[in-house]
Amino acid sequence: MGLGRTAAIVIGSFPLGESDRVVTFYSREHGKIRGVARAARRIRSRFGGALELFTQGELVFFDTGRSDLLRIDHFDIVRPFNQVRESLDALGHAA
């Protein structure tokens, strides 16, 4: 697939190694997308808070063809949905 760009929302993530993070997105064009965000857990990460749960944004990724996981280049926030993460009830409804 090479380079891809799509509107997506973060639906999950977990740590990988010391500084990387595996992030799961949902996109209308591609469905469920899983990828590795290199150095996302470092203090001076280029992702910042963009990979928080339920953040909507523009995803740019690369498909190397070697794995089921894509390489996430960057994720630009369009809508952060902070209110959903602040309320346990809202978080349950969103999930």
Q: What token pair was written down for 13?
A: 């993530």
pLDDT at 11: 93
CATH for 2-88, among 3.40.50.300, 2.40.50.140, 3.40.50.10800, 3.40.50.880? 2.40.50.140
pLDDT value at residue 91: 63
What dihedral do alpha carbons 37, 38, 43, 46 form, nearest 10°?
A: -70
Q: What is the mean pLDDT of residues 3-22?
A: 94
Rounded to whole angstroms, the Cα distance separating 49 from 24 reads 15
Question: Over 80: is that where the pLDDT of 83 sits?
Answer: no
47/32: higher pLDDT: 32
The answer on pLDDT for 72 being more than 90 is: yes
Cβ count near 80 (within 10 Å): 15
* Mean pLDDT for the stretch of residues 13-37: 95
CA 13 – CA 21 distance, rounded (Å): 7
